[in-house]
Structure 1
């Protein structure tokens, strides 16, 4: 892996935080959703955002 510049690390942290926020929002929406089909979609999207966040974290170290 290449050494990251300070700007790249800052940008990665920003992206990681954004994915974390999206994950939490989608999980909350899914918990409050009455439509079963939409609930599944929201849960699946929340899981995808969480996986993307975890993948991005691998670039930090």
Structure 2
């Protein structure tokens, strides 16, 4: 586990969970959005949050 302290692991898990929450909310907003430009922006931002979440998960693995 890359020699992370317990506090660092806890902080990573918190950040990962936060990115998951943001991604889910953005996906939900995008689904209900009627403006195509806004919908695209929300989907792109959700994908960015998922990518950041995955990058943080790599530190745990």
TM-score, with normalisation over the residues of structure 1?
0.96
Cα distance in 2 for partners of 1:20, 1:37 equals 23
CA shift digits 1:2-51 (9 cap, x unpaired)? 40000000000000000000000000000000100000000000000000
| Aligned length, in residue pairs | 61
Instruction: Show the counterpart of 2:20.
Output: 20
Aligned: 1:41 with 2:55 = no
1:56 Cα deviation after fit: 0.2
Structure with the bigger RCO (C-alpha within 8 Å, sep 6+) is: 2
RMSD: 1.0
Q: TM-score when scaled to structure 2? A: 0.96
Query: Gapped runs of 5+ residues in structure 1?
Result: none
2:59 corresponds to:
59
